[in-house]
Structure 1
């Protein structure tokens, strides 16, 4: 029996033979025939359960879409813009970005349109170049009240679900505008397709008028005769579809003000086919098979499930960064060999990650200092002080101020002893840097900053913001139209055990192509760094932040050329409570 102890494959093979050969051998002896009527009831009951699952999933899906419609209320800046009757370019950009963010958040959306009652204009985000879609955007209903309204619209020969909701300026009853979402049926098709067999057909009808929203069949002719038979919360009736006799099974459901009916057609051939497949099975054999499976599972769990669970727990510990994995009992089969190899791998991985982490920190620090220390700082300070004094003597006060700002920038960037600074110092550095850039671009460059006071005293890695601002100027504005604006936005969410810091750099320059964004993501995944005459690039900043904050740091880049290019940094800072 040594071969059985040392081979997991042998255990599985013997177990499967016992679990299959014995029950099926007995089933050939003890079998009885089930009636067609009982199989029909069973098929109907199984379809009821499957359709209830689909209905519940549809309710969850509609609920998720409703949450998207309510996302406008949780953005106080957006609500203030929506209440304003004036329309500035920044307000237009902010509202459009919100509509566009909602549009791109779901792949099945054909369009999202917000119609402002106060501004008397619409903000639309949709697929471009589609004449049928342009006609669809004009097809909507004027609604009253604050409840969600649903209707079926047509995009060519396809149905589209239109969801409409008025935005109410609570606690007042003023209607700020109407939000329209034109939802394609891709996700609904996925929910239903998982339960769809080859010969079955599904139909989804909405509202009390039983409007046809979805059909798994391209030919929907002849469905009008079933609408008058959909009585009660659920049921079934005999019928014919495409010259095939069968059973229509339906389930009514409702989500808030969205009643819908799910109908499934099952041909008689499918029902009787199931009956033929189970004709020789016996309940007694099923009980015997279940008993064998239970006993066999209890035996196999000792040999397989317990070490697998132990291995899963160890993997979870490694995922959390704990590499001190205790060794299990020595085993001689494949599972024991796997545990030994896993234990050795975690020890090697721990040593490698420690070395790699130290190497990355040292390499990043060395690169920063190498890029900063290109000239003698003392020589520069003395020279600029002399030039500033000469400028003051000749009454060139603006030149003196610019030299003072340049000196401040050099002192900050060449302070090699400081790696972590308060965000306030980074902002002062940016103000000096932007003052010099505005002296260069004059009125062609404008910038604004939005920072909550409590965020100014958070500690962040040095030289975090300047590379992002410099990228916006050099690659966005200077290589674009030669003029534009830059906005630096800092947001802070304070919780008991952590701070959530969000930094966004926004410009209306040339933008970043999708290929470039994908290349940045790929370099980030592969831990690549960029070098060269342009200083510390975007990917270098991202890699530095990942080294400092680990999984607590995330980022994203979105770009609409000459409208808004947004680089967002999200930093989760774990706060250590003071004694």
Structure 2
């Protein structure tokens, strides 16, 4: 049986699932806060729109500053290294003068001309070696090969010859021409600069001997100490065409044996290349020169961290300023959000009150900005809505009262029709056929007008209705009124709102014919083309231009109140047609007083054809 606790293992899985569930819950909560809070969205977007430009500007600025600082550092170090190279050449000149000082000795001529005994000759050479050795403290050994006697003279600080045997030049005169004037020598852990100079009897050009001076690097280190920062830079000096390393400031680090591993351009006197030293990236800056035909190279390694340090300091200062700016943005977002969300919450609260019918107490603080305008408009809207509700209630109450009064005053339609039928029968009994016709027409008109349930009718019924109406009016006015109705048979099946023709014909009679001059004539013309066109033409008094313009303005704002004393008239018909057909309905009116007044209605056919689904839900 295997050991362990399966329940414990299951518990670990449950814990992980619980942690994931908590994480999803936190993510969901943050998402809900973001969606529901205007402040959260405003803060997030302001931070995004602020930090992204900051980050981009920091990256661009950092790279630009790094390149600029790098170029500036390279140029500055090359100038400094040029000064160091001049100092090195002066130092080599001083070493060279040590050999020239032999020529200035008065006894040198005797030595050259061999006017000395062997003992005197040896003593002279020892004296000159002592003088040369004591000239500079960094001189560690002086060696001289005497060509004339073949003797070898050496003077060092340890008074021993064996230590220097491995670094001495060849004693054979034939090999002296291959010896470089300046070269580096390694003796144990110590590196020396070796200076070799052949002493020549001028003008005979006879070689007298070979003088070698070995100096330590103390003076070179002193000359170069001010040219580099030991914390971030490393200095190297190379001599000879083989670029032998003479000096390195990084004694504890891995030394560069040569410049072969560094990418340099031999044709340029100065330049730079990128590389690594002891695992650190940086840039190698170098300058080249020569002294007495001996190539000299000064090389400095500058770590990338040193160049980055200044750029990072600048970046840190910029980030500090930008962090303060972000803090200001957050504070500004808080203030802006407060100034926006508080009025919005107040507006939502008032909307809720209005939604439950509490119109009183909707007040806002006086503000002149956009939110203040919104609050003022909402307050005005609530006030208007309250008035409209009250007015609508009053209108409904008035309509109910009017209907009650109408019912109270209304005669039973069957009683009215039966009474008219009895009068018509009586008229026929007394052979009064015209009276019978008029009573029949009046019965048709009353029956059509008192049918309150039907709102949409075929156009043929409207035409039949105005025929009865005009017949009664013609009988009333006798010879003063005549009429003609023209209607295409196809148009009779088109459905239209009820009672749209009688108000127009009635207007022509009341405002045109009654106030006209001479006999009046009314022509009703109905045609079916791309739409239903209804024309009512009369020769009555007509309308003035100002009245026509007022009609058009009132129609444009769909205002009917207080027009024509509140009766059913032209504006009522126009508004009813506009409500049903919208802007597809068009109308025109023109008037030449006492000649021709014409009203044209154009109803879109696709909205008014028969069998259309009409009056749905009414």
Assess same fold via TM > 0.5.
Answer: no
Structure index of larger Rg = 2
Quickly name the TM-score band, shorter chain normalised: 0.3 to 0.5
Q: TM-score, normalised by structure 1?
A: 0.40
Q: Flag the structure with higher helix content.
A: 2
Q: Which has the higher contact order (CA 8 A, sep 6+)?
A: 1
TM-score where L is the length of structure 2:
0.38
